[in-house]
């Protein structure tokens, strides 16, 4: 296991929700990362953010780890959930709420509903 892979494993096992993104949750540096971080922030989800721009090994390593070519990448309870399009789809369908509920992840249900209403 490479150093990057070991650090990724440690991060996703040590946090219920992890977002590998360009930038940080308070200052995303690409539109896709901004969209996913915005959803999680608005829904009040407690999550760890990992800025792949700060570490080239992690930036490449996360793509190999998940076998997914793009960033951002969301993990819940150690499992890869998806990137921006999948998270957007899951938010609008209510699947993300279900995933959080099944895994004991706290979030604001009213905020989730407001996102769906605004995009309905």
pLDDT digit string, tens, across residues 12-27: 999 999 999 999 999 9
Please tell me the distance from the alpha carbon of residue 103 to that of residue 81, in angstroms, as a whole number. 12
Cβ neighbours around 106 below 10 Å, total:
12
Number of structural domains in the chain: 1
Supply the mean pLDDT for the chain: 96
Kindly report, residue by residue over 53-101, the tens digit of the pLDDT: 999 999 999 999 999 999 999 999 999 999 999 999 999 999 999 999 9
Exposed e or buried b per residue across 57-84, where buried means at least 16 C-beta atoms within 10 angstroms of its C-beta: ebbebbbebbeeeebbbbbbbeebbbbb
Q: Any idea what the CATH number is for the domain that residue 57 is in? A: 3.40.30.10
pLDDT of residue 1: 63
Question: What is the span of the domain harbouring residue 73?
Answer: 3-118
């Amino acid at each position: 296991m490479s150093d990057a892979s070991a650090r990724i494993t440690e991060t996703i096992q040590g946090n219920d929700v992890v977002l590998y993104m360009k930038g940080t949750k308070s200052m995303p540096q690409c539109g896709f990362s901004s969209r996913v971080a915005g959803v999680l922030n608005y829904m009040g989800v407690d999550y760890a953010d990992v800025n792949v721009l700060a570490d080239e090994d992690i930036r490449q390593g996360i793509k190999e780890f998940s076998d997914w070519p793009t960033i951002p990448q969301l993990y819940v309870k150690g499992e890869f959930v998806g990137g921006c399009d999948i998270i957007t789809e899951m938010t609008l369908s209510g699947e993300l709420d279900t995933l959080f509920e099944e895994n004991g992840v706290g979030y604001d249900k009213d905020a989730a509903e407001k996102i769906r209403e605004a995009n309905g």
